[in-house]
Chain A
Amino acid sequence: MIEARGLTKRYGDTLAVDDLSFSVEPGKITGFLGPNGAGKTTTMRMILGLDRPTAGEVTVAGKPFPRLTHPMREVGALLDAKALHGGRSAYNHLLCLAQSNNLPAKRIPEVLALVGLTDVAKKRSKGFSLGMGQRLGIAAALLGDPQVLMFDEPVNGLDPEGILWIRNLMKALAAEGRTIFVSSHLMSEMENTADHLLVIGRGKLIADCTVEEFIAANSQTHVRVRTPQLDQLAKLVATAGGSVREDGDGVMVVSGLDVGQVGDLAYENSVRLHELSPLQASLEEAFMELTASSVEFHAGVPSQPEMAGEVA
Chain B
Amino acid sequence: MATTATPAHAASTPRVLPASAGRANFAGALGSEFTKIRSVRSTYWTLLALVVVTVGFGALACWGAATHEHGPFFDATQRSLGGLYISQLVIGVLGVLVITAEYSTGMIRTTLSTMPYRGTIVAAKAVVFTVVALVTGLITCFASFFLGQALLASHHLNASLGQPNVLRAVIGGALFLTASGLLGFGIGLLLRHTAAAISTVVGLLFVITLLVNFLPQSWQEHVDKWMPAIAGTQIWSTLPNPPGSTPVFAPWTGFAVFCVYAAIAVIAGLALFRKRDA
| Contact surface of A with B, Cβ cutoff 8 Å | 45, 48-52, 61, 65-66, 68-75, 77, 79-80, 82-89, 92, 95-97, 99-104, 107, 110-111, 114, 140, 142, 144-145, 147, 176
Contact = CB atoms under 8 A, between A and B. Distances in A.
A75 B24 CA distance: 13
Contact of B106 (A71, A75, A84): A84
A72 B35 contact: no
A96 B109 contact: no
Contacts of A110: 12, 14, 16
A63 to B, nearest CB: 10
A103 B21 CA distance: 6
Contact of B116 (A48, A51, A83, A96): A48
B109 A145 contact: no
B218 interface: no
A110 B204 CA distance: 48
B229 interface: no
Given A102-B25, A103-B21, A145-B3, A97 B114 contact: yes
B17 A66 contact: no
A176 B114 contact: no
B17 A107 contact: yes
A71 B117 CA distance: 10
Contact of B24 (A49, A92, A100): A100
Contacts of A142: 14
Contacts of A111: 14
A103 B20 CA distance: 10
Interface in B111-133: 111-118
Contact of B28 (A73, A85, A87, A102): A102
Interface stretch (B39-47, B76-84, B165-173, B206-214): B39-47
B36 A88 contact: yes
Given A82-B106, A86-B105, A49 B35 contact: no
A244 to B, nearest CB: 51
A96 B24 contact: no
B242 interface: no
B39 A92 contact: yes
How many of chain B's residues touch chain A, expressed as a range?
Answer: 35 or more
Q: Which of A71, A89, A96 has the most CB of B within 10 A?
A: A96
B275 to A, nearest CB: 8
B15 interface: yes
Contact of A100 (B1, B21, B39, B114): B114
21 contacts: A48-B116, A49-B113, A49-B116, A50-B277, A51-B277, A72-B22, A75-B113, A80-B106, A85-B36, A85-B102, A85-B107, A86-B105, A87-B40, A97-B110, A100-B29, A100-B32, A103-B21, A104-B21, A107-B17, A110-B16, A140-B114
A107 B24 contact: no
A73 B117 contact: no
B28 A74 contact: no
Contacts of A114: 14
B31 interface: yes
A252 B187 CA distance: 67
B24 A87 contact: no
Nearest to A86: B105
